[in-house]
Amino acid sequence: MAQQRPCVVLIFGGQSTEHQVSCLTAAGVAKAIDTERFEVHGVGISPSGTWHRIDLPAIAELRTEGRRLPELDDTLPRATLVRNPEGVLLVTRDGDRLLDPVRVDVAFVLLHGAYGEDGTIQGHLEMLGLPYVGSGVMASAIGMDKHFMKVVLEAAGLPVGPYEVVLPSEWQWGREQICDRISGKLDYPLFVKPARGGSSVGITRVTDPNKLAEAIDEAREVDPKVVVEQGFVGAREVECAVLGPIGSDTDEHAAVRTSRPGEIVVHTESAFYDFDAKYLPGEGQVELRIPADLDAETEQAVRTMACACFAALGCEGLARVDYFLTAQGRIVVNEVNTMPGFTELSMFPSLWQVSGLDYQGLIADLIEQAMRRPNTVVR
């Protein structure tokens, strides 16, 4: 009986600025996953990029101590995934020796940001032939890049806010001209963002044109490509969770599913959902309203648009679509997250909770979706 449980490998940690957040996510999943239904193993990627074998109880232990978020170090045994004719093996590497092999059926990638949510690990898993939860290479890469994401959404006729892009090659030759160009096209306040970042790292809200260059420099420390957006003043932030279909093409579950929307209310002075507000709350700065208090028509529009965004980017498995509801009543897409925050208290699982799917059920749903889907690069 026990041998028949599908074997899941949780892959978490990683080299991005969101390493610690990923560890919290993995701990949440480790505690909630139904071990009667799934056999579970772990690969923790350290900030330096080394893969480590870590078992379920150790993952569940990762937690925030005071204001210190969890982090993996390089003392754990090394791990690797190996493609064999009979399937993919998770093994511990001790020098040249490969120990404790376990055959794995599916990967649950719980990485955020670079090398996790951006198509790179997805490409690695495609090469191994191991099915995985979530979007494939292309949708992950587009969802990660705030510039290309807007290009794709705009091409699909979906509403995005006014923005300018600062390309890596142009900044060093014309800082002043670029700042003038941006200030001429967009109204302040501006939001300056690394194109491929996450968790608000490297993002600055700029109210003074003299501070724009500094903010671009700061964003460039995360990504040499920078997106500058016109800030929405007095807008509400609303998010909608999306799940891929669970049934075959012909039955009633063939459709993409959306949750009830939620709202983030930020009470900080700059009204900006920054890193501390996301992960070190406690001063009553941020409130998640789940579900959001929206009229039926707006709720429906947000849900319908979430499906359209999911389709436009070619997402699979899951996504969270974030919007601004502007003071003028427009719905504008802020971003599509292909690996949204996934601790039990994060927006994505909470939205499914109020929409009738609990955390444990959600985890199983995603794994089932992944196991039914062929790998996505070559069909």
Sequence-distant (≥ 6) Cβ neighbours of residue 1 within 8 angstroms: none
For residue 143, what are its two tokens? Answer: 């969802």
Q: Do 24 and 70 touch, CB atoms closer than 8 A?
A: yes
What distance lies between CA 261 and its chain's CA centroid? 17
Whichever of 46 and 334 has its CB closer to ligand ADP, that residue is 334
Residue 70 touches ligand ADP, criterion: CB under 6 A? no
Pick between residue 25 and residue 199 the one whose CB is nearest to ligand ADP. 199
Q: What is the DSSP letter of 310?
A: H
Could you tell me the CA-to-CA distances from 148 to 60, 119, 214 in Å, in that order? 36, 14, 24
Is residue 197 near ligand ADP by the rule CB under 6 A?
yes
Closest by alpha carbon to 98, among 43, 50, 53? 53
Across 119-173, the runs of DSSP E, i.e. the strands, are 163-166
Cβ atoms of 282 and 331 within 8 Å: the answer is no
Stretch of 12-20, 34-42, 231-239, 240-248 lying at the interface with ligand ADP (CB under 6 A)? 231-239
Residues 286/277, Cβ–Cβ less than 8 Å: yes
Cβ neighbors of 5 (< 8 A, separation 6 or more) are 36, 37, 38, 39
Residue 335, interface with ligand ADP (CB under 6 A)? yes
Nearest 5°: the CA angle 196, 201, 202 is 80
Residues within window 232-251 making contact with ligand ADP, judged by CB under 6 A:
232, 237
Nearer to ligand ADP, 200 or 346 (CB): 200
Instruction: Decide whether 46 or 199 has the Cβ nearer to ligand ADP.
Output: 199
199 binds ligand ADP (CB under 6 A): yes
188 binds ligand ADP, rule: CB under 6 A: no
What is the pattern of x (binds ligand ADP, CB under 6 A) and - over residues 296-325? --------------------------x---
User: Minimal distance in Å, beta carbon 201 to ligand ADP?
Assistant: 7
Q: 258 forms bridges with which residues in the sheet?
A: 242
Per CB under 6 A, 273 contacts ligand ADP: yes
Query: Rule CB under 6 A: is residue 272 a binding residue for ligand ADP?
Result: yes
- The nearest distance, CB 371 to ligand ADP, in angstroms, is 29
Stretch that binds ligand ADP, among 38-46, 77-85, 92-100, 189-197 (CB under 6 A): 189-197
Residue with Cβ nearer ligand ADP (43 or 325): 325
Give one DSSP letter per residue of 154-167, joined into a string.
HHTT--B--EEEE-
Residue 225 in the binding site for ligand ADP (CB under 6 A):
no
Q: Which is nearer to ligand ADP, 308 or 332 (CB)?
A: 332
- Does residue 191 bind ligand ADP (CB under 6 A)? yes
